[in-house]
Amino acid sequence: MLACVNRIKSIADDNCQVSWLRRHILLYVEKVHSLLAWHHEVKIDPVS
């Protein structure tokens, strides 16, 4: 999953010359990654 995120970030860096667009894409990617990581942690350690 992390490799996929890094790939998306590198594509964003290559293709988005507009700084605000790149920033929004990177923020969105980081937000999605943190949500997925949180969901994964919840699956690993369920609160009983």
- pLDDT at site 48: 53
- pLDDT, one tens digit per residue, over 3-39 is 767 776 776 666 556 677 778 888 998 998 888 887 7
> How far from 20 is each of 6, 14, 23, 27, 48, CA to CA, in Å?
19, 14, 5, 10, 43
Residue 20 included in any domain: yes
pTM for the model stands at 0.41
Kindly write down the DSSP assignment for every residue of the chain, as one continuous string: -HHHHHHHHHHHHHH--SHHHHHHHHHHHHHHHHHHHHHHHHHHS---
pLDDT given at position 17: 61
What is the token pair recorded at 34? 């943190």
Q: C-alpha angle 40/41/47, rounded to 5°?
A: 120
Query: Is residue 1 one of the residues assigned to a domain?
Result: no
Task: Determine the pLDDT at residue 26.
Answer: 87
Tally of domains in the chain: 1
Report if residue 48 sits inside a domain.
yes
